[in-house]
Chains A and B, each alone.
Chain A
Amino acid sequence: VHQKIARRTLLKGAGVALALPWLESVSHASEERLTEPPLRMAFLFMPNGVRPELWTPPGDGEDFEITHHLKPLAPYKNDILLLENLWNKNSVGRNGHWPKVPIWLSGGYVQRTTADDLDTGAVSIDQLAAQRIGDRTPLPSIELGLDAPRTGIDVAGGGFARMYGSFISWRDPHTPVPKEIVPQLAFDRLFRNKRGPVISSVNPKDPALLSALQRDDASVLDVVLEGAKTLRRNGSASDRVRLDEYFESVRSVEQRLEATLRPQKRWINAGKFPLERPVAGIPQDHQEHIRLMLDILVLAFWSDTTRIGTLMLGDAQSNYDYSFLSGVRGGFHSLSHHGNDAGTRDQYGKIVDWHMEQVAYFLGKVKSLDEGGTSLLDNSMIMFGGSLKDGNLHAVEDLPLLLAGRGKGTLRPGRRLRAPVRTPVCNLYLEMLNRMGIQEKSFGDSTGPLQGLA
């Protein structure tokens, strides 16, 4: 127990409180530790497509040339698999943006509802994984982003609820998982809800502990659940859906609180992670915002708080004003529809480049973290890309996608993987699930496992 603390060397003098949750590990005298790092899986989404001619390298061999858009990733060329010819066939002939987003990670078919009953037809890969193996870590998964959810119906744009474009993670076909966009809240989410007993050598069944302050939240929730039984009888069946959602949510929080009393078999990295608790609010500076969220995702993986994460670098049709970039005047989405006007097209390309730089920053971070001989990147599968190719045309084939990391030796990066034209991206997901230890026969609209990853 002692030794672990010494290795972490987290607590020096004052200002301890916010780091205290880290101490949770002390309490688990009986905690078993993993002997090797676990495999992590992340999905980074970028809206509004790319310039295809600056993305796809010429030729068709395994080796590939670093194209303009890929330039920021050049230092990591040997860590990435460039994926070609994957797509979501259910996005054909629909609105340019909204319905493509929820199916990016699921392959489902989005109903054109007015948002009173969203239906994406499927659950996303990250949430499926979280449901299966999320109980192995304090957080089943983490969902991050930069934009607050969109509201209203895009009448002129196809009658889709704009909300569709704000979520890539779907717990079930009808329920998006809200993403955290405030850095401090995201940070706290990693540690705050582990309010386990921070008393050394604790016996979870100890009556003193059961009545302790730390267990107050769990007993409040106990009372809520008990009261719930009566309430459930009153509501009508359809109304019960939302109420049940609450009780289910209560139950899951309670379970998480209880789980802190139960040892989880986790991986503990040596050293201290160089990230302070972010200040409240959303940073003015867009790059600072995005990098904080990326840092938090890295921290979540590094601390083995979760092994599954998604991050949206922007919501569908994001029209964030990128005038802070030199040579760019205007919003991302507006500029993406450049209509082949050379000046506008250049500006659009610059915004895409900027996103690539953020991804490079992320890959640099995960690659630099040592996990006892291998890097965090080696022990990860990080998919980056978007749900449309050419932003100007909303093209749906050959999505711009890449998979970074070695998947603990199950991926052979440094190549491009040219799948047969129009291969479901779900074939890739099937393989990723498999590597996460989730054996599925099919996923979404998969037609079989994607060949050639290893």
Chain B
Amino acid sequence: MRALAILFTCGVSVFPQASRGLPGADSEFAETIRPVLVQNCAACHKPENAKGHAPFLRAAKASDMEANRGLWRNVSAQLRNRTMPPRDSKLSEEDRVRLSTWIDARLRQTACSIGDYAGPAITRRLNRREYHNTIRDLLGIDFEVTAILPADGSGGAGFDTNGETLYVPPVLTERYMEAAQQILDRVIVTPALAKTFSAAEMQEFSASIPVYLEGAYDILVAFDGATPETKLLLKIDGAEVGHLNLQRRRIIAGKPAPGPSLARLQFNLSRGSHSIAIVAGDSNIKLSRVSVTQKAEQILPEKRALHYRLFGMEPGEQPGQPRKAARQILESFVPKAIRRPVTAAEIDRFMAMYDRSAERGDPYEERVKLALKTVLVWPEFLFRIEQKHTESGIFPISQYELATRLSYFLWSTSPDDKLLRLAEEGRLQDAKVLAAQVDRMLDDSRSRAFLNSFVGQWLGTQDIGGRVVPLLTELQSYYTPEVAADLRAQPVLLFDRLLGENRSLLELLSADYTHLTQRLAKFYQVENQIQGLSDSEFRLVQWPDSRRAGLLGLGGVLAMTSRHKETSPVLRGAWALDTLLGTPVPPPPPDVPELKKDGAAGRKLTMREKLMEHRANSACAACHKLMDPIGFGLENFDWMGRWRDTEDDGSPLDASGELPSGEKFTGPVELRQALLSRKSEFIGNLAGRMLGYALGRSLQDGDDCTVQHIVQSLEKDDYRARTLIRDIVLSVPFRNSQGGAVETESVISRRSLDISKLNALKQDAASHNNQVKPLPKAATPVGANRP
């Protein structure tokens, strides 16, 4: 058996000091945990009832609990989510928090007892960011996706990489079709349409013309027999569009020039075959010639280059053997697009679209375009689909799948040639090669995609300037959209530095430096202390003093956790507990009373006073005593995150507080120290979040073991930032997938239910119906990769 790490090794903790093998855990369970559960739950969940629902009380020892992990995770979640016990129960809020925290911690500590866990094979679509980057790398254009694809929500660990919330609504297919067309129109130069028909002295003319590009077209009609009353009517697809404009004849030597009269009209056409008709009401008129020309597009050098990159020849150039040339284009394009080698039969599918287009006489460029359009809506382009194993066990994912996981994790785009080559050579599962690739990828500017989205979503700071901080004219002296953008960038730049220089992740809490622009210096009121800044670029600077150090000193974090014009120690505390330490507090119970505004003497209460009063209510105190004191330590930062020495009304400000574990502190500097003493929790949480981001799923029970290994490894390596990334990439779940029945309870079983039946489900039943995933079977790690 593997030696077990104790994750939470530091100081006094809200967590039990239990650990497998120590007699403490069993006795603690028997003496302080189970009796409370029996008292509150046994009436329904009778331990002796063999068929009873959720028979968790049968566990007499902590080890019994660990043997029934799924059930106990459920117990903890029900407690924390306040779905159980029923509302009339006598369970105190204090006990509710204590029990669920104890169970969670205990399960987390013993996670490795179930053996390695890899999680299911991945099938998910690219999110909007990934789609944008993938198109950029494939075709070389910066395509504005926000204008056409709907925004993605986020779920699981809270990231937009989460496959479970990457829905595929019908509108998306329409948009993918539309996007593919727009993208290819921007890259491929199709010769401008110019068709001339001879009208053979008719009064009416009609023809069908293929329009490949939406845009302006010009029709020019030559005819004889014009009179001042002549009217030529243009119909498109049977509808009257208008009358052509008669051209004045050129005057040569005082007389109208000889030859036919001319009439023209410009109009717009959408893509498709259109029937164009000219109708002359007058029988004297004899049409002679009709020409339709596309208003020539000016082809910019960039577009010529894009066209060349794809076709290997200049716009307008035609290959000698078009079909063969098209096939070659596809043979090079498709493997990049779907991130794996392809067979000839697979290319045939796309060639069928080429043929469809060729048969009706489209120009070469349009034929290739139609085939490529099919590639761009092909499921394996839009989705990452990994091979699933039917036998149970843990299996290494394929070389190409690994290349794909890696590149979407660190670059949010498809693998480059180097990764694909390593995959082809079968070397990517080699730990050394993999680690070297991680370094190469982090050094590449494309890793900015990972930094931006991971940091912004983890901390929530990406919402700054969007929905979080209002734009008020009264703030404009120091807060503008540009400042908001800078505030969003700050934590990203901090993380960037840690990765770039492989520094300690603890600097996220303690860094006494930051990146500033001139306008940010003004926001932070340090423009007098820090000189030489500009607004055009960030500069790395030392903070003048230590109160701003680390994430907790950044305006983005502080403003995001405030209410409008009012600080919120509750939100700031809850944020620190959840986002930094990974220990979310239970939600507030229903019917929370209002915070009082005024004290007895009619004086306005300070936020601290309001909250202290709130905590007089014991139901509220259980959680607020965890959250509020952390927030109190940040009261020196106002609702926008600017420094203040007093309350808004000038009265003295009290910034003392304490951690749930009892460490007391005053002000942000001491708070930071207190948090640093909980570095294992902080690092464990960060590792878990990033693992969730990397895997694109919610973490399961078995993943806690992976997180523990990563934390141990980081402890031995001074918490170096690159070690975290490397360990995630080398971890069992990143390089493997679980075969057999790892179906999470999930979506599918519930989805297969008839909707009308679902409607009829009793809500009481619903409160028992829980979101906790059942445990995977302990798997034999055959062929598993371990770092």
Interchain nearest-CB distance for A438 vs B (Å): 13
Q: Are B374 and A115 in contact (CB under 8 A)?
A: no
B258 at the interface (CB under 8 A from A): no
Q: Are A95 and B587 in contact (CB under 8 A)?
A: yes
Q: A20-B269, A224-B374 are in contact. Are A219 and B168 (CB under 8 A)?
A: no
Of B352-360, B406-414, B444-452, B664-672, the segment with at least 4 beta carbons within 8 Å of chain A is: B352-360
Interchain nearest-CB distance for A331 vs B (Å): 5
Q: A116-B164, A119-B771, A330-B472 are in contact. List 8 more A-B contacts (CB 8 A).
A: A112-B771, A152-B457, A156-B587, A193-B174, A224-B374, A227-B349, A238-B747, A248-B170
B387 at the interface (CB under 8 A from A): yes
A421 at the interface (CB under 8 A from B): no
Interchain nearest-CB distance for A233 vs B (Å): 10
Q: Are A17 and B270 in contact (CB under 8 A)?
A: yes
CB neighbours (8 Å) of B151 from chain A are 148-149
The tally of residues in B whose CB lies under 8 Å from a CB in A reads 124
Q: Are A151 and B160 in contact (CB under 8 A)?
A: yes
Q: Are B379 and A11 in contact (CB under 8 A)?
A: no
CB neighbours (8 Å) of B748 from chain A are 237-238, 240-241
Q: Are B153 and A253 in contact (CB under 8 A)?
A: no
Considering only residues 207-266 of chain A, those with a C-beta below 8 Å from chain B are 211-214, 216-217, 219-221, 223-224, 226-228, 231, 234-243, 245-250, 252-253
Interchain nearest-CB distance for B618 vs A (Å): 19
CB neighbours (8 Å) of A157 from chain B are 587-588
Chain A 130-160, CB within 8 Å of chain B: the 1/0 string?
0000000000000000011111110111111
Q: A117-B771, A246-B382 are in contact. Are A330 and B174 (CB under 8 A)?
A: no
Considering only residues 102-133 of chain A, those with a C-beta below 8 Å from chain B are 106-109, 111-119, 121-123
CA distance A123 to B268 in the complex (A): 42
Identify the interface centre among A2, A26, A236, A335: most chain B CB within 10 Å of its CB.
A236
Interchain nearest-CB distance for B721 vs A (Å): 24
> What are 19 of the A-B contact pairs (CB < 8 Å)?
A1-B238, A27-B238, A93-B87, A115-B154, A116-B698, A117-B747, A118-B165, A199-B237, A199-B275, A213-B212, A219-B356, A223-B349, A227-B379, A237-B748, A239-B385, A239-B388, A246-B379, A319-B470, A339-B597
Of A51-59, A175-183, A360-368, A402-410, the segment with at least 4 beta carbons within 8 Å of chain B is: A175-183
Interchain nearest-CB distance for B422 vs A (Å): 23
Interchain nearest-CB distance for B5 vs A (Å): 26
CB neighbours (8 Å) of B755 from chain A are 122-123, 172-173
CB neighbours (8 Å) of A213 from chain B are 210-212, 271-273, 360
A77 at the interface (CB under 8 A from B): no
* Contact for B239 among A11, A123, A172, A174, CB less than 8 A: A11
Q: Are A93 and B590 in contact (CB under 8 A)?
A: yes
The tally of residues in A whose CB lies under 8 Å from a CB in B reads 121
Considering only residues 564-621 of chain B, those with a C-beta below 8 Å from chain A are 564-565, 570-571, 574, 578, 584-588, 590-591, 594-595, 597
CA distance A109 to B270 in the complex (A): 46
Chain B 234-255, CB within 8 Å of chain A: the 1/0 string?
0011111110000000000000
The 10 A-B pairs of least Cβ separation, nearest first, read: A115-B155, A17-B268, A239-B123, A200-B238, A334-B564, A158-B587, A93-B590, A236-B388, A116-B164, A245-B168
CB neighbours (8 Å) of A168 from chain B are none
Closest B residue to A446 by CB, please name it. B759
Q: Are A199 and B273 in contact (CB under 8 A)?
A: yes
Q: Are A234 and B388 in contact (CB under 8 A)?
A: yes
Interchain nearest-CB distance for A245 vs B (Å): 4
A449 at the interface (CB under 8 A from B): no
Closest A residue to B236 by CB, please name it. A16
Q: Are B172 and A249 in contact (CB under 8 A)?
A: yes
Considering only residues 265-296 of chain B, those with a C-beta below 8 Å from chain A are 265-275
Q: Are A246 and B168 in contact (CB under 8 A)?
A: yes
Q: Are A246 and B123 in contact (CB under 8 A)?
A: no
CB neighbours (8 Å) of A199 from chain B are 208, 237-238, 273-275
Q: Are A112 and B147 in contact (CB under 8 A)?
A: no
CB neighbours (8 Å) of B747 from chain A are 117, 174, 238, 241
Q: Are A16 and B267 in contact (CB under 8 A)?
A: yes
CB neighbours (8 Å) of A227 from chain B are 349, 378-379
Closest B residue to A220 by CB, please name it. B374
CA distance A18 to B267 in the complex (A): 11
B427 at the interface (CB under 8 A from A): no
CB neighbours (8 Å) of A27 from chain B are 237-238
Interchain nearest-CB distance for A407 vs B (Å): 24
CB neighbours (8 Å) of A163 from chain B are 153-155, 165
CB neighbours (8 Å) of A280 from chain B are 147
Identify the interface centre among B236, B467, B563: most chain A CB within 10 Å of its CB.
B467
Q: A12-B242, A173-B758 are in contact. Are A319 and B564 (CB under 8 A)?
A: yes
CA distance A284 to B183 in the complex (A): 27
B125 at the interface (CB under 8 A from A): yes
CA distance A364 to B311 in the complex (A): 56
CA distance A262 to B747 in the complex (A): 35
Q: A116-B162, A178-B169, A227-B378 are in contact. Are A185 and B122 (CB under 8 A)?
A: no
CA distance A250 to B83 in the complex (A): 39
Q: A20-B269, A231-B379, A241-B748 are in contact. Are A115 and B240 (CB under 8 A)?
A: no
Q: Are A243 and B383 in contact (CB under 8 A)?
A: yes
Q: A13-B241, A14-B266, A148-B151 are in contact. Are A115 and B156 (CB under 8 A)?
A: yes
CA distance A157 to B697 in the complex (A): 23
CA distance A109 to B150 in the complex (A): 26
Identify the interface centre among B353, B594, B771: most chain A CB within 10 Å of its CB.
B771
Of B15-23, B67-75, B507-515, B761-769, the segment with at least 4 beta carbons within 8 Å of chain A is: B761-769
Closest A residue to B212 by CB, please name it. A213
A69 at the interface (CB under 8 A from B): no
Q: Are A161 and B177 in contact (CB under 8 A)?
A: no
CB neighbours (8 Å) of B590 from chain A are 92-94
Considering only residues 1-59 of chain A, those with a C-beta below 8 Å from chain B are 1-2, 5, 11-18, 20-21, 23, 26-27
CA distance A247 to B385 in the complex (A): 14
CB neighbours (8 Å) of A250 from chain B are 173, 377
Q: Are B170 and A252 in contact (CB under 8 A)?
A: yes
CA distance A123 to B698 in the complex (A): 25
Interchain nearest-CB distance for A95 vs B (Å): 7
Chain B 115-148, CB within 8 Å of chain A: the 1/0 string?
0000011111100000000000000000000011
CB neighbours (8 Å) of B272 from chain A are 195, 197-198, 212-214
B415 at the interface (CB under 8 A from A): no
Closest B residue to A226 by CB, please name it. B349
CB neighbours (8 Å) of A329 from chain B are 472
CB neighbours (8 Å) of B360 from chain A are 211-213
CB neighbours (8 Å) of A20 from chain B are 236-237, 268-270
CB neighbours (8 Å) of B540 from chain A are none
Q: Are B164 and A13 in contact (CB under 8 A)?
A: no
CA distance A217 to B274 in the complex (A): 16
CB neighbours (8 Å) of B588 from chain A are 156-158
CA distance A405 to B769 in the complex (A): 41
Q: Are B239 and A23 in contact (CB under 8 A)?
A: yes
* Contact for A234 among B271, B387, B473, CB less than 8 A: B387
Closest A residue to B369 by CB, please name it. A216
B167 at the interface (CB under 8 A from A): yes
Q: Are B585 and A178 in contact (CB under 8 A)?
A: no
Q: Are B239 and A26 in contact (CB under 8 A)?
A: yes
A166 at the interface (CB under 8 A from B): yes
Q: Are B237 and A156 in contact (CB under 8 A)?
A: no
Q: Are A238 and B746 in contact (CB under 8 A)?
A: yes
Chain B 512-530, CB within 8 Å of chain A: the 1/0 string?
0000000000000000000
Q: A156-B574, A213-B211, A249-B173 are in contact. Are A192 and B356 (CB under 8 A)?
A: no
